[in-house]
Homo-oligomer: A and B are copies of this chain.
């Protein structure tokens, strides 16, 4: 099966490449800020390849094209690339070259590699420099060649900025800036260029709507010991923002003038910026101005450690959101086989419950409601053309979350819609066990997610099975559903930060099973890291769950569980009942009582 739309687009791109003296062209998936989700304007890779996942890089050569993506998308990418002539490269699989190794092998001496330097991050840019220097490859990185190819390209997003009440932030911009400047001093930096949107929003206690599901505004900041410059699209600035900026001595500038400003402003000393987060274009600009200190944004870790005000709001929001998911699960369980239901309609039912909740802003990501084999695709999204009808059998995976005034949520439950196979039960039980064990981990301060990951994975590894993704990620506060620096995974990409888990950090716990063509299982709670006893051996820590939604007893086979793990499940279910019952009507409460009864 051929995909003439894509092959024609690639032909046109190759034409533009030739006109510009570019032999190979690289299209990563990023906006100018390396946001995880990107707005329509930035979906060049999807436009050119048909692959719609959230992570992937396209390479177009004179006669070949390849797409690199990670384990979450292997199945989906294979489907979407069909007929495009684009070859799929499964990242981290044995024998699969990295894209820079691929280019180093394929490109001929003296050829030119093109890419838009604003959407390539510095680490990738540097890796390309290193890999391609031997062959004397030239870079052409100041043009977005796809712009000429892409007819009807959506406009750059632009929405008014929201200024948050400090009562809900728990810390003023002044206090935050003070902490950032202290860190700059420690690192010996005279200036700090900040381009990561969620860090910017956190630091300035503002929010935006320029990225779907991410409450962020396209922006940059330049901070020195005494000055603070914030760059936003003029149309996004409101009276409240002007007043806010005035109050904290923030100078506002037009977003498009950032590069000009940075080229001209006085810089006395080194510049702190995050190599993993600034674009290669800004990296090259700043390198010409001063020495760079490539380190994590100080804001990243500050933002990750929630303050008591944030934690109090999150607890409340998570209870409310958990109750909504319970109501949804009750509705599905009661009506499956009676009412017609599809992935889309069920997902919309859940979305509507959230939308009607007090303080709701937006979904924190597009709801994943995936039935049967669709759930084997980790980030499947149903649409009008892919929308399975739900039947009273098999497994349904629902991964969803909301942006509320007071917190960002993320929760996954997989449930049996009727009879399921023994194999499904065995896998479901292993996933539930892994989730519970990690949730109940006891550890010492100093541990990163790499130390803890095996607790979630061991029940699956014992069955010679794995899931090809991390076990958990940080979650923002009225911000991105994925945030760093902490994460729970058993191996890290080279150079990837591996942050210690600190009290106040919030992290997901979401092991899974994904069997291509069969089914997918994921169970996800959000956990808050808290301090326990501190003694001569160190600061002991554990997690407190923020999520209170039952794990489907219908899908569990207790005979496969250890007594201790059954006790963990029963204890969790008792907590769910206690916390969530007050939010439910009588019928729902009765359902919850049954769903959480001890094994």
A interface list, Cβ under 8 A from B: 441-444, 446-447, 450-455, 458, 461-462, 464-466, 468, 490-491, 532-533, 535, 537-538, 540, 562-564
Contacts and interface: CB of A to CB of B under 8 A. Distances in A.
Contact of A466 (B450, B466, B537): B537
Given A490-B447, A562-B562, A537 B464 contact: yes
A74 to B, nearest CB: 10
Given A537-B468, A562-B564, A564-B562, A462 B442 contact: yes
Contact of A442 (B461, B532, B535, B563): B461
Contacts of A468: 537
Given A442-B458, A454-B443, A464 B562 contact: no
Nearest to A534: B464
Given A452-B454, A532-B464, A562-B562, A491 B446 contact: yes
A549 to B, nearest CB: 26
A488 to B, nearest CB: 12
A384 B533 CA distance: 41
Please give me the 7 A-B residue pairs with the lowest Cβ-Cβ distance, nearest first: A466-B537, A442-B461, A464-B533, A442-B462, A562-B564, A464-B540, A451-B490
Contacts of A464: 442, 532-533, 535, 537, 540
25 contacts: A441-B454, A441-B458, A442-B464, A443-B454, A444-B461, A444-B466, A446-B490, A447-B490, A447-B491, A450-B450, A451-B451, A451-B453, A451-B490, A451-B491, A454-B454, A454-B455, A464-B532, A464-B533, A464-B535, A464-B537, A464-B540, A465-B537, A466-B537, A562-B562, A562-B564
A11 B563 CA distance: 65
Nearest to A532: B464
Contacts of A563: 562-563
A276 B564 CA distance: 44
A538 B92 CA distance: 11
Contact of A461 (B454, B465, B540, B562): B540
Contacts of A444: 461, 466, 490
Nearest to A459: B442
A268 B532 CA distance: 59
A123 to B, nearest CB: 21
A515 to B, nearest CB: 10
Nearest to A491: B446
A205 B464 CA distance: 38
A444 B461 CA distance: 7
A461 B443 contact: yes
Contacts of A447: 454, 490-491
Nearest to A500: B491
A538 B464 CA distance: 9
A451 B452 CA distance: 7
A540 B491 CA distance: 15
A540 B463 CA distance: 10
A466 B536 CA distance: 9
* Most chain B Cβ neighbours within 10 Å, of A444, A452, A454, A533: A454
* Most chain B Cβ neighbours within 10 Å, of A444, A447, A461, A562: A461
A388 to B, nearest CB: 24
Contacts of A532: 464
Contacts of A441: 454, 458
A454 B437 CA distance: 12
A446 B454 CA distance: 12
Contacts of A454: 441, 443, 447, 451-452, 454-455
Nearest to A458: B442
Contacts of A538: 466
A468 B537 CA distance: 8
Contacts of A535: 464
A452 B453 CA distance: 9
A227 to B, nearest CB: 29
